[in-house]
Chain A
Amino acid sequence: MKPESRLRKVLTAGQFAVTAECGPPKGADPEAVRRKGNLLKGFVDSVNVTDNQTGVVRLSSLASCAILREEDLDPVLQMVTRDRNRIALQSDVLGASALGIRNILCLSGDHQSFGNQPEAKGVFDIDSTQFIRLVRQMRDEGTILGGDKLTLPPELFIGAVENPFADPRSYRARRLEKKASAGAEFIQTQCIYNLPYFKEWMKEVRDLGVDTKVFILGGVTPLKSVKMAEYMAKNVAGMDIPAEIIDRLKGVPSGEQKKEGLKICIETIRELREVEGVRGVHIMAIEWEEAVAQIVEGAQLLPRPAV
């Protein structure tokens, strides 16, 4: 059967989409990818595979996506411009499509200094916005940069990310608009903990009319503990975890914090569903893929629609 993007079909059918993140292993272990993928099967529409996130070397995103495709999942290939120049990016975009991968998420990537190869040369030949436009050109016009024709254009549903909580905040909705005009079709946001602020940002996004141009999926990450919440709030730039959330976790015994974290996550999804312009949720359960089923079930997002 000809592969299609399930994510695109769910979103265009007007259904509330559910995606989750799958981090590849730090080794050449295809079974680890299958295991993680199968934990998500039936609970989500599509599975994002991170591309050497935080600059730490892992099994390639492209290979992992091909493995997930074999498992009959709909992978979202995350691809960063940190590690590839325009030659490699365009080549991998073609490779992804040839392997039956139908979704791509275009990012710049975490800076190499954060990872386990801090002496690496960051490529950054093009940026994420230019990459979005490039994939769109390859798909819709069947050409590469410089104008050479492709024998067969790639078939990809094109996504981008946005962090409403980073600075300068006044520019964040405009930045999303720019990614939409570059050709992004869906957006997955940074983890949302500060809902009141997220709602304000969504209003700005709606005022610009961007919510009608792209499908916006709100990002969530279940917190496992007070320690994790405090670490993220302090050390992850552009992460906004309000004190009330941390206090709420502190209010329960340490053995119960995971459960409370899941509860907060589920409540966030329920509220996100009510926000005009939010068309789905992206669950990033970092090294806790087992939690996704509980979250999706708790948020009453089952069964996933047949499309």
Chain B
Amino acid sequence: MITAERKPLPEIKESISPYKKILIVGCGTCVAECASGGEKEVALLASALRMDAKKEGRDIEVREITLDRQCVYEFIDQLTALVDQYDAILSLGCGAGVQAVAEVFPKIHIIPALNTTFLAQTKEAGLWLENCRGCGDCKLDYFADVCPITRCAKGLFNGPCGGSKGGNCEVDPETPCAWHLIVTRLEESGRLGKLAPVYPPANWSKKEGKGPRKIVREDQRH
């Protein structure tokens, strides 16, 4: 999923300070799963802003709504009847959601309330780990299903650097060394020989390409 974290309240307050009527829009998919932008988080943020305004003697109107998906037009359309009544939209969607909403409603100020972070697995309750960079050229099979582009701090393709210690990364000693995992997994399954050839430079054009990437699927268009 795509993970995100809510921005600190003072930053959000600052960004909405010119406005009185605010529509807070959550998203029920990835950011709900990682507890940063779902219905519950929208409600929490709305009450925090209301209480804060009351304490400071300011007058604001906050309405809450959570779309199933903020990055898909069919769901964004639910806002069409509402936007005209508000000065600004505070979006708890990921960066893709914020931009999708902004494209549909060019006249209203859309403010992000989240910092979008990474593609993750939920390791355990309250712990998300980045494990994919969306490079567009998946070679997990070669690397014993541990992505070195994402999980090695230097993105090395040909073995561990000189700083791996006790199975952990020198850059963040709380993070396992991706190459320690790769070597161990291949060793245990008798496949270490796989690593002998020099792995060639990556084709980053599949990631960097000509700027933003797009997928066009004719079979899905109608």
Which A residues lie at the B interface, using CB under 8 A?
82, 86, 108-109, 111, 113-114, 122, 124-130, 133-134, 145, 161-163, 166-168, 170-171, 174-175, 177-178, 181-182, 190, 237-238
**B interface majority secondary structure:** loop
Determine the distance from Cα of A113 to Cα of B169 in the docked complex, in whole angstroms: 13
Within the complex, what minimum Cβ distance (angstroms) separates A126 from chain B?
5
Interface residues of B in 161-211 (CB under 8 A from A): 161-167, 170-171, 173, 177, 179-180, 183-184, 187, 192, 195-196, 198-202, 204
Asked if B164 and A170 sit within 8 Å, CB to CB, the answer is: no
Complex Cα–Cα for A300 and B125 (A): 62
Contacts of B154 in A (CB 8 A): 82, 108-109, 111, 122, 124, 127
- Asked if residues B167 and A167 are in contact (CB atoms below 8 Å), the reply is yes
Task: Assess the B156–A162 pair: CB atoms within 8 A.
Answer: no
Q: Is the CB of B157 closer than 8 A to any CB of chain A?
A: yes
Inter-subunit contact A129/B201 (CB<8 Å): no
Q: List 24 A-B contacts (CB under 8 A).
A: A82-B154, A108-B154, A127-B154, A127-B155, A128-B156, A130-B200, A161-B162, A162-B162, A163-B163, A166-B160, A166-B161, A167-B177, A168-B180, A168-B183, A171-B159, A171-B183, A171-B187, A174-B159, A175-B160, A182-B158, A182-B198, A237-B164, A238-B164, A238-B170
- The CA-CA distance from A274 to B204 in the complex, in Å, is 46
Chain A residues lying within 8 Å of B164, measured Cβ to Cβ, are 166-168, 237-238
Chain B, interface size: which category? 20 to 34
Do B158 and A166 have beta carbons less than 8 Å apart?
A: no
B205–chain A nearest beta-carbon distance, Å: 12
User: Given that A111-B153, A124-B155 are contacting pairs, would A181 and B162 also be in contact in the complex, using a CB cutoff of 8 Å?
Assistant: no
- Whether A129 lies near B159 (C-beta < 8 A) is yes
B179 contact set on A, CB distance < 8 A: 168
With A170-B187, A238-B170 known as contacts, the answer to whether A127 contacts B158 (CB < 8 A) is: yes
Q: Mostly helix, strand, loop or mixed at chain A's interface?
A: mixed
User: Which among B154, B160, B199 has the highest number of chain A CB atoms within 10 Å?
Assistant: B154
A129 touches B167 (CB 8 A): no
Q: Tell me the minimal C-beta distance from B193 to chain A in angstroms.
A: 10
- Measured in the bound complex, the distance between the Cα atoms of B158 and A181 in whole Å is 12
Q: Within the complex, what minimum Cβ distance (angstroms) separates A205 from chain B?
A: 15
| B183/A130 in contact, CB under 8 A | no
Interchain CB contact under 8 A, B162 and A166: yes
Whether B162 and A130, one on each chain, are in contact in the complex, defined by CB atoms closer than 8 angstroms, is: no
